[in-house]
Amino acid sequence: MNILDKIIADKYKEVALRKQLIPVKQLEQSVLFERKSPSLAQALSTSASGIIAEHKRRSPSKATINHNLNVQDVASGYEQAGVCGMSVLTDGKYFGGSLDDLLLARAAAQLPLLRKEFVIDTYQILEAKAYGADVILLIAAVLTREEIKTLSEFAKSLGLDVLLEVHNLEELQKSVMPSLDMLGVNNRNLKTFEVSLETSKSLSAEIPDDFVKVSESGISSIEAIKALQPYGYKGFLIGENFMKTDDPGASATEFIKQLI
């Protein structure tokens, strides 16, 4: 069993439990449920930097990244830096995140927020909306084409953007459909955890131009972004690079300044 299979097995149990604790009605009555979501896809397509900055305390591959920062400071720091959007990890067991992180980030910043989560059920999309997210992530490696269609169409019906993540050509080919806004290529091999930008480069020509192209994982330098821009990438997800510093907002500000 690879780490992703483990996470998904746990996620099914977790979602079943959450459904018992908080009924759908309650999520739909959240103050944030009526809020109109800004589009991350739109922000990326007109941006010079295309940075999506992440809030991440730890990960299965890196253990602890940063446990000392509060989410509001990170969110307002990222917003001041001029990033296009912020990714907030809400998985507790493997990444040390929670839905409250999303709520705190929403209270501190206006920028588009991505709920970074292992989505397997429409219930999690209702949660995302209720807790202030503007974008959901779907991971092709753990979903069938039918599931991707159901989940992405449901997200669109709530006015959310959809970022679909793929790791290879097979995942990409089964996933392309009109209910997606962005196609993200994850440069990390899920079996070995090795990272290579070649993954983004080789898949770029296969992604139809209707979608905003996003590259994820292993992007820690200006050079990496400059190398990917000619391949049509408009979005770059940067997590650990900013989070491992004492002031992610200041790091992001410096990074963007050098980039543009």
* Catalytically annotated residue among 79, 127, 165, 171: 165
Question: Residue 54 catalytic?
Answer: yes
First to last CA, the chain: 42
Helix axes 248-259, 71-81, angle to 10 degrees: 20
Report which DSSP code applies to 92.
S
* Catalytically annotated residue among 49, 186, 200, 215: 186
User: Where does residue 193 fall: left (phi above 0), alpha (psi -120 to 50 degrees), or beta otherwise?
Assistant: left
Cα–Cα distance measured from residue 206 to residue 38, given in angstroms and rounded to the nearest whole number? 28
Question: Residue 187 catalytic?
Answer: no
* Catalytically annotated residue among 175, 217, 241, 251: 217
* Catalytically annotated residue among 11, 56, 129, 234: 56
Question: Residue 129 catalytic?
Answer: no
**What's CA 203's distance to the chain center, in Å?**
19
Question: Residue 56 catalytic?
Answer: yes
**What's CA 64's distance to the chain center, in Å?**
19
Phi, psi of 236 (to 5 degrees): -140, 115
Question: Residue 34 catalytic?
Answer: no
Question: Residue 244 catalytic?
Answer: no
* Catalytically annotated residue among 117, 127, 216, 240: 216
Which residues, in sequence order, are CB contacts of 149 under 8 Å at separation 6+? 177, 179
Following DSSP, what letter does each residue of 12-28 receive, concatenated? HHHHHHHHHHS-HHHHH
* Catalytically annotated residue among 11, 116, 129, 213: 116
Cα–Cα distance measured from residue 78 to residue 82, given in angstroms and rounded to the nearest whole number? 7
Pick from 254, 214, 234, 250: nearest CA to 78: 250
Question: Residue 146 catalytic?
Answer: no
Catalytic residue set: 54, 56, 116, 165, 186, 216-217
